[in-house]
Structure 1
Amino acid sequence: MDMSEIRKAEEIKLISEENGTRIDAWLSKMLDKYSRSYIQKLINDGLVLVNGTAVKSNYKVRMKDDITVQIPEPEVLDIVPEDIDVPILYEDEHIIVVDKPKGMVVHPAAGNYSGTLVNALMKHCGDNLSSINGVIRPGIVHRIDKDTSGVLVVAKSNEAHEKLSMMLKEHDINRVYIALVHGIIREEAGKIDAPIGRHPVDRKKMAVNTKNGRRAVTHFKVLERFKDATMLEVKLETGRTHQIRVHMSYIGYPIIGDTVYGRKKDKYNIEGQALHAKLLGFVHPITNEYMEFESELPEYFVKLLEELRRN
């Protein structure tokens, strides 16, 4: 990145008094309002200079290193606000908690530049969304899949965004899902600890990948058994892409309606997976008050439960 093109919102100058610590770790300790991932992005963009020279994240600081950190101005958001109704469970100046409907994409991406949660929130919040994730994902701290419904927290201030991101990284956010899976799980509860990464052949999919995957842990508890299906309460310890869907398929109980990781066709005839983000609990990033939000099971999910019980 050309340094002359960077518009600086802030320039921070520091002198190292340590030897041998990675610069990304050292800076995240010195600048604790920024997450390590954000600092790594600054380093990768050439915005961290040591003695006048850009370095990599694994550079080890030395005593008396002269370190300059350029914090760029937020990019101007250019995604179009749209008047889309999204249920709001809570809102203040720092965060907004929404009940995302099934079928809605969280943020714009290739092929989906309108009709997303971000488009709706930009209409509702105006410019009051955090800018840390840039023009495509303002405010987005975590995601749930297009066809997964339920509770999601979005950051309005950059400070809230940084702290929520750190909570996610440290597994300090309570995320509980309800899932309907094919097959009858005999155990009352279980834990799946299997790394998830890109599928080695189909790069659009995720998979349990022991070679290149990142640690992924899912806990489940049986709520109800049916003739050939099981309803589960699922808790995420980590938050990998498609984690619950990949893990349930991996142990042989794919989520009903999941044509990507499960059966290409099933008799229940629903669009998308039967997975609902029911509960989200976290300490408010600014007030430090514990907050918990719940979303009722959507109509399609209730109807599917009624069908399973009839059978």
Structure 2
Amino acid sequence: MQAWHYHLKRRLTATELPLRDLLRREWLIPKSVYHQLRVKQHVTVNGVYQSVNTLIHPGDLIELTFETNDFRTPLPNYHAGQAAQTAVLYETSDILAVNKPIGQKTHPNQPWENNSLFNDVASYLEPQHCLPYIVHRLDMETSGVLLVAKNPVVLPILNRLIKTKRIKRHYIAWIHGQLNLQQGTIDAPIGRDPFDKRKRKVAGTNAVTAITHYKVLKQASDRTLVGIELETGRTHQIRVHFASIGHPLVGDPLYDPQGNQYVRLFLHADRLHLLTPFSYEPILIKAPLPAVFNQKVLLKKLPK
């Protein structure tokens, strides 16, 4: 059975609080995992198992041991891909951030597939005896920063940080036309398109809340470069929201009527503001902007 060990020294500037609050409220350890730590006595303070009511002081050493069966998350199982294809932007013993290329799926849809990003990442992590866990996804046509958990310990913590907007994802996109406002918010629920199973639409079937914030970065005569932050993370959210206000993303094969004329979908996840689990150190991860985004005239496909 695999185990993960953490030796965490409380900062000298930290406030005193009960061990229970440190584990559940500050470190965001899920209730079921917290229960296992207690039952197995896999949490110690300065080398001794203590009641969860114990007051933790600055400088105290907290040691945690997690085992595979502490987690409900199934072990990932990916066929080997190409490790050399993995473009690493940031890495620790818990976390990997990669630069996803355009045209590659985040994860396989079928068990036998071996050409997704996660197949490549699985091969990259194999020498470390780690497995990749999905934290969030990028559409196949989108490039940029993608965060990967390297163990089941930090996966639910990262999920909570994203859900509570403490991890922030930023995108850059070219859209058709010019916006009236230099910055704004699109607040429109997104659901399934009842007429096309590939697509989503505003106020579609089983629509859920979707909120997108944007800021104009540059304007050309017939298109605009925008910076985007998501408050929610729905499938195709950015693409659907801008199409719904009459400004589809340039090169979008689903929502831009002229999409098939361009070399790519002009959407890139350029930055991710990370808080590292347990230490909560702020880290800014950047994915270089593809050169094609800087073209004065966005590249179109060559005539066949």
Please tell me whether the aligned partners of residues 35 and 165 of structure 1 are also in contact (alpha carbons under 8 angstroms).
no
CA contact (8 A) 1:99 1:149 kept: yes
What CA RMSD, in Å, does the superposition of the two structures yield over aligned residues? 2.9
Q: Any conservation in 1 of the 2:202–2:240 contact (CA below 8 Å)?
A: yes
* Aligned CA distance change for structure 1 residues 299 and 86 (closer, same or farther; 3 Å): farther
1:66-77 → structure 2 map (5 Å cutoff):
74-75=74-75, 77=77
Equivalent residue for 2:30, pick from 30, 34, 38: 34
Q: What is the deviation of 1:76?
A: 6.3
Question: Which residue among 257, 270, 273 is the counterpart of 2:263?
Answer: 270
Q: Partners in 2 of 1:227 and 1:112 — Cα distance?
A: 47
Amino acid at match of 1:34: P
Q: What is the aligned partner in structure 2 of residue 141 from structure 1?
A: 135
Q: Deviations over 1:7-45 (max 9, x none)?
A: xx9xxxxxxxxxxxxxxxxxx99xx62389x9xxxxxxx
Equivalent residue for 2:124? 124
* Displacement after TM superposition at 1:73 (Å): 8.1
User: What residue number does 2:89 align with?
Assistant: 89
Q: CA deviation at 1:205?
A: 1.2
The structure 2 residue matched to 1:294, chosen from 278, 281, 286, is: 286
Instruction: Please report how far the alpha carbon of residue 102 of structure 1 lies from its aligned counterpart in structure 2 after TM superposition.
Output: 1.3
| Structure-2 separation of matches of 1:157 and 1:88 | 17
Q: Which residue of 2 aligns with 1:242?
A: 236
Percent identity of paired positions between Structure 1 and Structure 2:
37
Aligned equivalent of 1:102: 102
Q: 1:35 to 1:116 in 2, by over 3 A?
A: farther
Q: CA deviation at 1:192?
A: 0.3
Contact 1:227 1:308 in 2 (8 A): no
Per-residue displacement from partner, 1:178-205 (whole Å, max 9, x unpaired)?
A: 1000111121111000111211222221
CA distance in 2, matches of 1:293, 1:221: 20
Q: Which runs of 5+ in 1 are unaligned?
A: 1-8, 10-27, 39-68, 130-137
Query: Residue in 2 aligned with 1:223?
Result: 217
User: How far apart are residue 282 of structure 1 and its match?
Assistant: 1.9
1:111 is displaced (CA, Å) by 9.6
How much has 1:213 moved relative to structure 2? 1.2
> Is it true that 1:306 corresponds to 2:302 in the alignment?
no
Contact map agreement 1:35 1:162 (CA 8 A) in 2: no
Deviates more, 1:286-295 or 1:227-236: 286-295
Structure 1 counterpart of 2:45: none
Secondary structure at the counterpart of residue 228 of structure 2: strand
CA–CA separation in structure 2 for the residues paired with 1:81 and 1:282: 27
Q: Residues 52-107 of structure 1: CA distance to partner in whole angstroms, max 9, x if unpaired?
A: xxxxxxxxxxxxxxxxx995584462422433422211111100011111112111
Q: Rate the CA distance shift 1:200–1:82 in 2: closer, same or farther, 3 A.
A: same
* Counterpart code for 2:123: K
Partner of residue 206 from structure 2, selected from 203, 212, 230 = 212
Spell out, residue by residue over 1:128-184, the C-alpha distance to the aligned partner (whole angstroms, 9 max, x if none): 12xxxxxxxx41110111111111110002121110111122222111111000111
Query: Which stretches in structure 2 are left out of the alignment for 5+ residues?
Result: 4-23, 34-68, 300-304
Letter in 1 for 2:185: K
CA distance in 1, matches of 2:236, 2:201: 9
Give, in angstroms, the shift of residue 308 of structure 1: 5.2
How many Å separate the matches in 2 of 1:35 and 1:242?
A: 32
The 1:289/1:206 distance shift into structure 2, 3 A limit, reads: same
1:258-304, CA deviations, whole angstroms, 9 ceiling, x for partnerless residues? 0201214465x213x100101100210132111111112112223xx
Aligned-partner Cα distance in 1 for 2:209–2:248: 20
Amino acid at match of 1:87: A
Would the alpha carbon gap of residues 166 and 204 (structure 1) be closer, same or farther in structure 2, given more than 3 Å must change?
Answer: same
TM (normalized to structure 2)?
A: 0.71
Distance 2:259 2:150 in 1: 40
Q: Are the counterparts in 2 of residues 256 and 266 from structure 1 also a CA contact under 8 Å?
A: no
Q: Is the alpha carbon distance of 1:266 and 1:105 closer, same or farther for their aligned partners in structure 2, counting shifts above 3 Å? A: closer
Once residues 210 and 183 of structure 1 are traced to their aligned partners in structure 2, the CA distance between those partners, rounded to angstroms, is: 25
8 Å Cα contact 2:191/2:208 also seen in 1: yes
- Aligned residue in 1 for 2:272: 280
Q: Aligned residue for 1:6?
A: none
Matched to 1:270, the amino acid is: V
Q: Which amino acid aligns with 1:215?
A: T
Output the TM-score relative to the length of structure 1.
Answer: 0.70
